[in-house]
Each structure stands twice: as C-alpha cells, then as structure tokens.
Amino acid sequence: MNVADLVAIDVHTHAEVSKDGHESLSPELLRASAAYFKDHPRPTIPEMAAYYRERRMAAVVFTVDAEHATGHPPIPNEEVAESCAEHPDVLIPFAGVDPWRGRAGARQARRLVEEYGVRGFKFHPSIQGIAPNDPIAYPLYEVIEELGVPALFHTGQTGIGAGLPGGGGIRLKYSDPMLVDDVAVDFPELRIILAHPSFPWQDEALAVATHKPYVHIDLSGWSPKYFPPQLVRYANTLLKDKVLFGSDYPVITPDRWLADFDKLDIKPEVRPRILKENAARLLGL
C-alpha cells in the first residue's frame, strides 16, 4: 500500500455479503436495517476494492460476529482476510470475534493476526449482547493488546433493529462509551477506536478519548453536517491527532461523507490528519 498516493483512509466499512451469498445479519435484522438506512447495494469485497481504488482511498473492512446473541452465523473472518489480501493496495482486513467465545475467541484472534494478516478487531456490544467491560471478553482483549492491533467498538445508538418490537432484542446501553473506559483502564496499552458520533453519549466519548491516550474516535455512520458542535470543536483542537475518517460504507458512501466534510469548519492543517494521517499512524501503515 502506497500511503503517500492515497487521498484518505476509511477506517469503517462493512463486508455485508460473503462469496456464497451469506449475509452478515439475520433476515429480520436485515429488513429492519434496510428500512432504517434506506436500501443500498451490498458489494462483494472485490467490488469494494474497485470502488476504493477508483477514488485513491484505502478502507478497513470487517464483519461482526454476534452469533451467540442472534443465532446467525457470521461471514467467516478468514474469507474477509483472504479477500482483502488479494487487494493489499486498498483494503485492510479487520475481524469480528464474538466476546462470548471467551478463551476460544482469544485463540481465534491470535490465529487471525498471525496466520491471516488481520490488522484489528471490530466489536458491536449492542448486537453482541454484552457489555464491553464484561470479564468474559478480557482474555480476548489481552491477546489483542499483546498483538498491538486496534480494537474498534461501536458506540451510541444503532440503526440495527430499529423499528422492530423491542428493537429486535438489541440493548442500546451496552454501547455507552463509558463502558469502554473500563477496558482502556484495564488494558492500558490497547489501541481503541470509539466508532461513530456516540449519540446520546457524545460528551462521554470525548471525555474518554481526551483522558485515555490510546483511545480514538472515528466519524462514521453520520453525515458530517449532523455532527454535534462539541465533536467538531474537539476534532479541531484537543483530539486533532485522534479523530479518524470513517464512512460506514456501504450504508453511507465516502463520496457523500467527504462532500459534507468539505463544508465542515475544520482547520486546514487538521483536515489531512483526520482523513489519512491519524489512521496511517494508528494502523502502522
């Protein structure tokens, strides 16, 4: 990957469909997601590579393993990693490991990094049905910290399950960033990314990222024109080296995100840090 030639690094994109057509969510959650986010194409990983290559961008790609809570098998991490390895100029593989897997998940994480070249891990506490600071996840975090790769946690409200009775069984409380603060304390060398503007806990996310040196924030999932003013203020100042561009593709396209970001009041010297430099440093590119 030639980082110097890249316009941006998108740290938050989803592999939503496998080679054999298996989808990342159960049919019920998928229908609710389509209604909430508006229906959108579900590109394969090679199609994602072509999309980002055309735009001279790189993208972190992952899926979510929430089989314990949902009963729905995930897209295999090995497939995501192998597909990304076919496009190393633009794709960076992350993995999703269900924290409920305990020590088995920790062994899986080590194998994915050492044998498949995975560069980080994605967690979605609300869909996985577990608080980030649950001790069952700690063997997994221990391995991730040891391997020196980032852990990305969904924070804030989710559109997954929105509109279903009981939200499809998804509990929003598990995505409070203050629960990730415990993880940052107990694993002080773990590189953490708090995904999304963390509605309704934006101030909490900013507090954690300001207080803990290895906690970052990605800006995915929202158009920048809807960012809370305090998020913009911190991105321009105290957190200018810890805020990352993310789109949430294919739910939100980087084209739309970047067009709205261009209109945001971000200092010229901070803009390249958010779009590329902070991510390149965090990911060791």
The residues, any chain, with a CB within 8 Å of residue 49's CB and separated by 6 or more, are 84, 86, 87, 90, 91
Query: How many helices and strands (H and E) does the chain possess?
Result: 13, 9
Supply the pLDDT for residue 32: 67
Supply the pLDDT for residue 23: 74
Q: What does the block give as tokens for 166?
A: 């009981």
Angstrom distance (rounded) from CA 123 to CA 64: 7
Contact 70, 29 (CB under 8 A): yes
Measured from the Cβ of residue 114, the count of other Cβ atoms closer than 10 Å reads 10
Q: Supply φ then ψ for residue 122, to 5 degrees.
A: -115, 135
3-class DSSP string for 70-87:
HCCCCCCHHHHHHHHHCC
What strands, in cross-sheet order, belong to the sheet with 151-154? 95-96, 121-123, 151-154, 192-195, 215-218, 243-244
Element (H, E) at 193: strand 192-195
Q: What does the block give as tokens for 28?
A: 């019920």
Contact 171, 163 (CB under 8 A): no
Spans of all domains in the chain: 3-282
Contact 153, 194 (CB under 8 A): yes
Single pTM value for the model: 0.95
Q: Which residues, given as ranges, of the chain have pLDDT below 70?
A: 26, 30-37, 39
Contact 147, 106 (CB under 8 A): no
Element (H, E) at 151: strand 151-154
Angstrom distance (rounded) from CA 96 to CA 123: 6
CATH class of 3-282: alpha beta
Supply the pLDDT for residue 19: 84
Closest C-alpha among 146, 88, 145, 76 to residue 117: 88
Angstrom distance (rounded) from CA 283 to CA 285: 6
Supply the pLDDT for residue 194: 98
Angstrom distance (rounded) from CA 260 to CA 262: 5
